[in-house]
Structure 1
């Protein structure tokens, strides 16, 4: 049986399970037979004297919207070869430092009876800045690059990234927000899959935020914010995927870079790092190390009201003032080796680690008022958290031919271990009425181990189709133990009600298939991912829950050029948001004597269907209309604790439904040759239904987000960034969140023949990041106002040393990392 027959048989099986989804895919296959064979674009790059130019960047773009399809370098004779992945209309651009960028006329490749294009002879002209002014204005990658699947953020050359953390850079990216609980959201929606260097990060909430704070932005090459990820990614992440790509030096020989920075807000922030790389024809050995020492503060003012119905005694109110100082010290390191076993076969291995130590001290003053009586007490919480983590990856890839579209096979094996040791001493002094002080000592230990293996296969098919398929198995074990000891009047005892171990086991087995191609001017990507989940949660000897279920996640992406200026993209997908291991963990983490955070072991997975229609005009203006419907959405809430009294808990919970409507406008503009402006406007309507804390919820609200980024390329090696963002008031489940915004500026100077870079940045200049949140239930209300150390001035110096010659392009595939990046880039 041929591959086409196998594919058709597979589609028939899919049809029985998915109905109309498979019918649409089935219609695509015969239509694609009309497409003609794609053709390669060949040519030569030369300068004004007809001398060949080596290592010029030659890029193939879709003519409709200039989306990048393929990039290569010219060889020593100036020649290049670009393989078109599918029939269509394309343009070629060529860039080289010191020369004006070249754009070809549109080329028809494999469409109808169009002949193969003749080899291109491209002559680059010296730029006016070089020829007339003897000043080189060096072009930089735009900070943001939109695509049908999301947005690429080029971090490496951004002045605002110097000395910052990865969390800082994410928080300033278009469509990304961070709430008071350190939960990331993309386009107003929480529930994201975070992938770092090709590996899924299992953390969420505060633990993920701490991890990203410990990862210096100086190690980041780029971020990918994918709202329409393909089936190659785990179905996890109802709102999308954030891909964090770490730097890897592409220069030949032995070279490296070093950086150091110091920032000053209310407290100081120090960071330093070193990266080394040795690249030869048969190998690439690399490693990096970074150290961070950062102090921050969080000040929160609370006002709470408890009804008589809740307390079963007279109604009460409380006023709290909490001041927290945090000290983060972290070490991150990575070492890896890529071996070219043959021209088409690569074997790679990498080991990375992160060790962070967070010490915090929290002062809390609480005033309770009920009837004509009142109480006043103070609490002091000293918390020490130690988080070492270690990950190891072994990857392999083989291409069966030299063509970029040839059959390929890749495999990955990963092991990751995340450990958390948390100790706290919460001391409470009772001033009125006076009584003996109490001490709550907590000792918690958590170990999370993830083992994963995946296999990916790509096969070109007749009629310019491409089939990609793969399988993945993941096994997770999470062991957690805690002991809380209370001491009053010199007597200590274990609090058995909250000192219970928690064990969690999860196994996910997945398989996917994706069909790509082009038909009559419309490119398509149709995929299906199946994930079978087995989980078990136990608290001590008591089993809490056990589940076994199978879910199917189809996705479809259609792109069509209407004319030379306009194109449409339709994306439809189903995704899942499984609770993270921290969200399921019921063990407590106390903030003060009246507040703690805990997980919810009874959380169920949230499923979401996303539909998005995008219109693009001249690749400068993008308008996207989207709708998402979520069942059993997971939300973070603040509500009265089950302990009773005046205790409040912050934890995740399931609601019934969430409907989310968005209209996004994106405009990457160039008002001047030296000025890039990226504007992103998001308007949305959010609606929830459900019941929590005895309160029925059926409410919605409008909101808006605005991001403006200005990037300036200036003479004499200078560059600058001006970044501003604004979030309007919004409704989030039972909460009303006030508006907030920020303005940041950065400048940089290239020195020492472009080997050194000096950067200065100031973030949140007007200190407009503080905000207020109001939670409203029938029996309880809370209002809190939070401030953090967001206004920071940072000075940074980086230096590159070694060979400055970049390696010629080669078909490299470092396991899952490159597979994920290839999937994100599309065809």
Structure 2
């Protein structure tokens, strides 16, 4: 304990020493105010000004500290606004010391002798990141975690533990983000999060997204932005939040890139690999990516349904073989110093074949041994492909940040499957009863999305304004052809075949404004969306039309009590539109005893999100949240006690309330250990209007996680990681989910000037990441369990080469529409 206390005292002295040295140095040798502009007397004891770079462009978000030179007392703090402007009111006529810091610029310290009635400074920051003041070096460094008014930022380069790691590893350290193995990325308290890179949504499958993030070195990232309550400029759809990964920007001409490969061993082996390539020359820049993989996965699952007169226990296993490829190419051209035009093309292809077997044991009432057995085998190959073309244009009106951006998108998605299943009935002795069925179904879906969007940003001295509009047209066509097979012949079954067409048009306008006032920041926005839909079942000759207009307000407030203490509040209203498949009224049979049925009358769900946040330095991030969901929709599996067929139907029947607290704690007790820990305690309450479910279900739960990285040598080239998480039992919708947890270990070594990385990772070592769901529907209890084969060992290698290229901000307008294809 005394040793630990000594370490903390030393750390405090190290932290305070540069401030004292700087103050002493400037007392003995004041810095001439060489960067100041003309001083005009226009008022009384107010110091204001503007911060610009060497080209005269304004610099927002610069941190300013104002000291009294006589005794080094900190008087005031400020942050430059979007125009680069700042102001210190109510000052005395005395000599002051002003320090200006920004991550991308040289620290500047200047002495202001005997402030006049009103003094205006035009401060020019150098592009270098450090400066030497009479032998004392002052280095600019952003905090590891920053609180912006509408998002939380993880500055990746300030994390020592991320050396030689991937973007996926970096996401694990972002406040409030939960990465479950190699399967999902979520914001704690939300689900189905959308991931963007440089403000461009990544529209690929979950597996492809994981491969892209694993192939992207963390050293290429500038920051990760976690947007739990998206502002008005983003689509109002979805309640999952956004994660924006921003890459570093560098104007060094030339080529750069990375390649990586991974071998993954679970029950069966899998492989994947990919790379990125960047090139910048003059006014042209190009970026290309490619990823491919081949996987073989094994999983198990089942369910147990208790009917009034019998119990049906299903046990299933499946083997999924998949191959996928995704690639992209983007080209930018600077027309002049104020205009940029670009195009990006993305393509994905996937081929998946799933072979599964299900044994259904039937226990009559009061019996412990089965009376009969139903064996079902299923063979389903699925092909998917998509193409996305995005055009974008940006025009800067002046150097103050006034700009216009426009984007147009076309997205094409094609999916086809060919399913065959057989079902045989057996007596307990293993003898066939003679009852059997053999069927085949073919299904396809084609989705086309056309989108256009315009955004305008107008920063003024007194506030910043932004507005824009978006128009979207969606055309979805799907079909299912069902065949009964008898005596080796297939017979078309029109009663189980279907064709469905769906169109959707949405027009949106938004307006947003923001302002800074002393230690306060305010931002408010309003988005209006008008939607018209038309669903037509060709099979049933049924057409359903719907139209609605809704407003979606957002509000943010931020208070910086001190430089290292920040309080925030946010509110946002969101909409969740049903996916296209949920609106199809047809019954699709997955087996003789189960089907899925859509609902063309399904309505959108709405949610209101409230958040209170507090940050203390890099150490602590706290969040209180409340989510209220109205008119929620979901699927319900309703078992029929007579036919024993379970029908999965879609309905609006949920009212949900979720509230809780999230604590994120980032510790570095010694220089070789970085520990990131998260705790969430929350309560979920669901009210149901459907008589087949419980009318009310709720309960408390918690989620704990700890990610610990150990630097094993002084060079920082050998690192080890131990991470674990535990999910307590929780309420999810109308179901109760049991506890599950995971323990992961990894190690990585960096070689060849840290350009080459070899990593070994073991996931779910204890094989405890198993989900068990308890449900109660139509008066009958049901239990579902699954384990998709999460326990794996992964060996990966990655190599970075060349100069760092320039990455420009991408503009995409069809983010939400493509997300609904899944």
Secondary structure of 1:774's match? Answer: strand
Change in CA separation of 1:447 and 1:647 when aligned onto 2, cut-off 3 Å: same
Change in CA separation of 1:161 and 1:511 when aligned onto 2, cut-off 3 Å: farther
Say which of 654, 657, 668 aligns to 2:655. 657
Q: Distance in 1 between matches of 2:494 and 2:691?
A: 25
1:136 aligned partner: none
Q: Does 1:340 align with 2:339?
A: no
1:233 aligned partner: 234
Q: Distance in 1 between matches of 2:192 and 2:563?
A: 37
Q: Which moved more, 1:579-588 or 1:497-506?
A: 579-588
Q: Distance in 1 between matches of 2:167 and 2:727?
A: 21
CA offset digits 1:625-674 (Å, max 9, x no partner): 11121111233443327x96222244553224111112111223332334
Q: Distance in 1 between matches of 2:623 and 2:385?
A: 41
Shift of 1:246: 7.9
1:317 aligned partner: 311
Secondary structure of 1:695's match? Answer: coil
Shift of 1:529: 0.5
Secondary structure of 1:633's match? Answer: strand
Shift of 1:692: 2.9
2:752 aligned partner: 752
Shift of 1:762: 1.6
Higher relative contact order (CA 8 A, sep 6+): 1
Shift of 1:590: 5.7
CA offset digits 1:367-414 (Å, max 9, x no partner): 11234783212111111111101000000001112x2x4210110001
Q: Distance in 1 between matches of 2:436 and 2:173?
A: 44
| Preserved contact between residue 249 and residue 256 of structure 1 (Cα < 8 Å) | no
| Preserved contact between residue 51 and residue 125 of structure 2 (Cα < 8 Å) | no
Change in CA separation of 1:743 and 1:224 when aligned onto 2, cut-off 3 Å: farther
Shift of 1:723: 2.4
Secondary structure of 1:233's match? Answer: coil
1:814 aligned partner: 810
Change in CA separation of 1:481 and 1:178 when aligned onto 2, cut-off 3 Å: farther
Say which of 512, 515, 532 aligns to 1:517. 515
1:611 aligned partner: 610
2:303 aligned partner: 302
Q: Distance in 2 between matches of 1:331 and 1:376?
A: 41
| Preserved contact between residue 388 and residue 420 of structure 1 (Cα < 8 Å) | yes
Pairing 1:134-173 to 2, within 5 Å after superposition: 149-152=150-153
Q: Does 1:629 align with 2:628?
A: yes
Secondary structure of 1:501's match? Answer: strand
Q: Distance in 2 between matches of 1:751 and 1:229?
A: 40
Q: Distance in 2 between matches of 1:761 and 1:175?
A: 23
Change in CA separation of 1:563 and 1:540 when aligned onto 2, cut-off 3 Å: same
2:7 aligned partner: none
Change in CA separation of 1:650 and 1:153 when aligned onto 2, cut-off 3 Å: farther
2:279 aligned partner: 278
Q: Does 1:378 align with 2:375?
A: yes
Q: Distance in 2 between matches of 1:178 and 1:123?
A: 36
1:718 aligned partner: 718
Say which of 672, 683, 699 aligns to 1:685. 683
Change in CA separation of 1:413 and 1:58 when aligned onto 2, cut-off 3 Å: closer
| Preserved contact between residue 366 and residue 378 of structure 1 (Cα < 8 Å) | yes
Pairing 1:206-245 to 2, within 5 Å after superposition: 208-209=205-206, 212=209, 215=212, 217-219=214-216, 224-243=225-244
Q: Does 1:388 align with 2:385?
A: yes
Change in CA separation of 1:183 and 1:543 when aligned onto 2, cut-off 3 Å: farther
Shift of 1:477: 0.8
Q: Distance in 2 between matches of 1:618 and 1:794?
A: 35
Size of the aligned set, in residue pairs, is 727
Q: Does 1:431 align with 2:426?
A: yes
Q: Does 1:60 align with 2:62?
A: yes
Change in CA separation of 1:164 and 1:253 when aligned onto 2, cut-off 3 Å: closer
Q: Distance in 1 between matches of 2:740 and 2:178?
A: 11
Change in CA separation of 1:701 and 1:756 when aligned onto 2, cut-off 3 Å: same
Say which of 440, 462, 483 aligns to 2:481. 483
Change in CA separation of 1:554 and 1:481 when aligned onto 2, cut-off 3 Å: same
Shift of 1:459: 1.1
1:446 aligned partner: 445
Shift of 1:104: 7.5
| Preserved contact between residue 693 and residue 734 of structure 2 (Cα < 8 Å) | no
| TM-score, length basis structure 1 | 0.78
| Preserved contact between residue 143 and residue 158 of structure 1 (Cα < 8 Å) | no
2:558 aligned partner: 559
Query: Structure 1: which 5+ residue stretches go unaligned?
Result: 1-34, 45-56, 72-81, 127-138, 308-314, 821-827
| Preserved contact between residue 162 and residue 261 of structure 1 (Cα < 8 Å) | no
Shift of 1:176: 5.3
The structure with the largest alpha-carbon Rg is 2
| Preserved contact between residue 544 and residue 601 of structure 2 (Cα < 8 Å) | yes
| Preserved contact between residue 407 and residue 460 of structure 1 (Cα < 8 Å) | yes
CA offset digits 1:533-583 (Å, max 9, x no partner): 111111115234211111000101010123455332111111111112233
Secondary structure of 1:583's match? Answer: helix
Change in CA separation of 1:797 and 1:183 when aligned onto 2, cut-off 3 Å: closer
CA offset digits 1:206-226 (Å, max 9, x no partner): xx5455466563148576432
Q: Distance in 2 between matches of 1:747 and 1:265?
A: 18
Shift of 1:498: 2.6
Secondary structure of 1:39's match? Answer: strand
Q: Distance in 2 between matches of 1:388 and 1:818?
A: 17
Change in CA separation of 1:123 and 1:427 when aligned onto 2, cut-off 3 Å: closer
| Preserved contact between residue 287 and residue 331 of structure 2 (Cα < 8 Å) | yes
Change in CA separation of 1:608 and 1:466 when aligned onto 2, cut-off 3 Å: same
Shift of 1:761: 1.5
| Preserved contact between residue 161 and residue 217 of structure 1 (Cα < 8 Å) | no
Q: Distance in 2 between matches of 1:819 and 1:317?
A: 45
Change in CA separation of 1:490 and 1:701 when aligned onto 2, cut-off 3 Å: same
Change in CA separation of 1:481 and 1:731 when aligned onto 2, cut-off 3 Å: same
| Preserved contact between residue 154 and residue 225 of structure 2 (Cα < 8 Å) | yes
Q: Distance in 1 between matches of 2:434 and 2:549?
A: 56
Q: Distance in 2 between matches of 1:268 and 1:710?
A: 28
Change in CA separation of 1:177 and 1:95 when aligned onto 2, cut-off 3 Å: closer
Say which of 354, 360, 363 aligns to 1:360. 354
Q: Does 1:39 align with 2:50?
A: yes
Shift of 1:431: 1.6
Secondary structure of 2:494's match? Answer: coil
Q: Distance in 2 between matches of 1:232 and 1:571?
A: 15
CA offset digits 1:288-308 (Å, max 9, x no partner): 21111122122013211123x
Change in CA separation of 1:188 and 1:590 when aligned onto 2, cut-off 3 Å: farther
Q: Distance in 2 between matches of 1:647 and 1:567?
A: 56
Q: Distance in 1 between matches of 2:284 and 2:501?
A: 42
| Preserved contact between residue 339 and residue 348 of structure 1 (Cα < 8 Å) | yes
1:76 aligned partner: none
1:116 aligned partner: 121
1:769 aligned partner: 769
Give RMSD over aligned pairs: 4.3
Shift of 1:355: 0.4
Q: Which moved more, 1:384-393 or 1:707-716?
A: 707-716
Change in CA separation of 1:192 and 1:498 when aligned onto 2, cut-off 3 Å: farther
Q: Does 1:673 align with 2:671?
A: yes
| Preserved contact between residue 734 and residue 777 of structure 1 (Cα < 8 Å) | no
Query: Structure 2: which 5+ residue stretches go unaligned?
Result: 1-45, 67-76, 90-97, 134-139, 817-822
| Preserved contact between residue 198 and residue 817 of structure 1 (Cα < 8 Å) | no
Say which of 410, 415, 418 aligns to 1:420. 415
